Amino acid sequence: MAAQIIDGKAFAARIRARVTEEAEKLAHRHGLIPGLAVVLVGEDPASQVYVRSKGKQTAEVGMRSFEHKLATETPESELLALIDRLNADDAVHGILVQLPLPDHMDAAQVINRIDPAKDVDGFHVSNVGLLGTGQTAMIPCTPLGCLMMLRDHLGNLSGMEAVIVGRSNIVGKPMAQLFLGDSCTVTIAHSRTRDLPAVCRRADILVAAVGRPEMITGEFIKPGATVIDVGINRIERDGKMRLVGDVDFQSAAEVAGAITPVPGGVGPMTIACLLANTLVAACRARGLPEPKGLSA
Ligand code: NDP
């Protein structure tokens, strides 16, 4: 194996330590304790695990965690009324509605009900527009985590060829905006892209956000490229359930210069960035300067 491993778990621990330090300063100097409200509708087991983990980590960095669990059959109007209350609550600086929502709810309508200043997931249409026009926005956590790791590993990204496989609203598109902001030359590939391996081989930075286990092999990678694997796929191998990425780690690591593993790469950075976003939202709400290095 030639590639250097980019340790997302260690980097996320550093981000959480920074958030803890900054949250302590806010509490002592300004009596301000950032608060994150997480809303879970229904019983989806994976979502329950994420929500528990978010609540635990929020408390660990010295912020307030508010959990709201609603039954699957809750009418959408009740969820919207809860969001209105959270929007008006001064103790709440960040609001996250765990996706997916039950089928009878309109996710776009729900997300767009959140006050954009408290939209720590960065999915509100106002934040999408602000990011797209290079203005101060709340940035979606997963692409923000990828950007932080890349800056840390590569330094200045200006002029680099960045290829993203996947054009979702939560990963691919905001990732592209962030790369443009850092003056990369950006390509977004998707299921209709012709000759995907050739497109990917152009990349100095390759981000895989596809949702297909181990699809991106060494053949897709330019020697020395930096590979960020966003994928989280549960597969059965040798009679055991395993977590694998969208990148075939073995073959990719033979060619890449650096690569994020799954697990232990992008995943831990996503929650760390959620905590960072909540801290940033609390600073902005009070008109205080934002701590450096915790946003784009
Ligand atoms: P989506 O399903 O919303 O998007 C997948 C994208 O991949 C689509 O744009 C699709 O193209 C494209 N695609 C699918 N098949 C191919 C193919 N054969 N060739 C090229 N492109 C293809 O996924 P998400 O963006 O939500 O998530 C992607 C992955 O990242 C998943 O594994 C998910 O679990 C993981 N994830 C991890 C997070 C973390 O914290 N680490 C957070 C969020 C997601 P088209 O648009 O044409 O259909």
Say how many Å lie between the CA of residue 242 and the centre of ligand 1.
19
What strand order describes the sheet that includes 205-208?
4-5, 258-259, 226-229, 205-208, 161-165, 185-189
Residue 49: its pLDDT value, please?
Answer: 92
* Domain residue limits, the chain: 30-118, 141-268
Please write the tens of the pLDDT for every residue from 10-57.
999 999 999 999 999 999 999 999 999 999 999 999 999 999 999 999
Q: Is the pTM of this model over 0.95?
A: yes
pLDDT tops 70 at residue 1? no
- Per-residue pLDDT, 126: 98
Q: Residue 2: what pLDDT?
A: 87
Residue 59 φ/ψ, nearest 5 degrees: -65, -40
Q: Does ligand 1 come within 6 angstroms of the Cβ of 166?
A: yes
pLDDT digit string (tens) for 204-230? 999 999 999 999 999 999 999 999 999
Q: What is the pLDDT of residue 40?
A: 98
Q: Is the CB of 232 under 6 A from ligand 1?
A: yes
Structural fold of domain 141-268:
Rossmann fold (3.40.50)
The correct answer on CATH 3.40.50.10860 for the domain covering 30-118 is: yes
Average pLDDT over residues 112-141: 98
Residue nearest to atom 34 of ligand 1 (CA): 232
Domains 30-118 and 141-268 fall in the same CATH topology: yes
54 is catalytic: yes
Kindly state the tokens that stand for 222.
């330019």
* 98 included as an active-site residue: yes
Query: 291 CA to middle of ligand 1, Å?
Result: 31
**Among 115, 119, 121, 229, the one annotated catalytic:** 121
What does the buried/exposed string (b/e) look like for 35-48 if buried means 16 or more CB atoms within 10 Å of the residue's CB?
Answer: bbbbbbbbebeebe
Whether the CB of 267 sits within 6 Å of ligand 1: yes
Lookup: tokens for 91: 């103790």
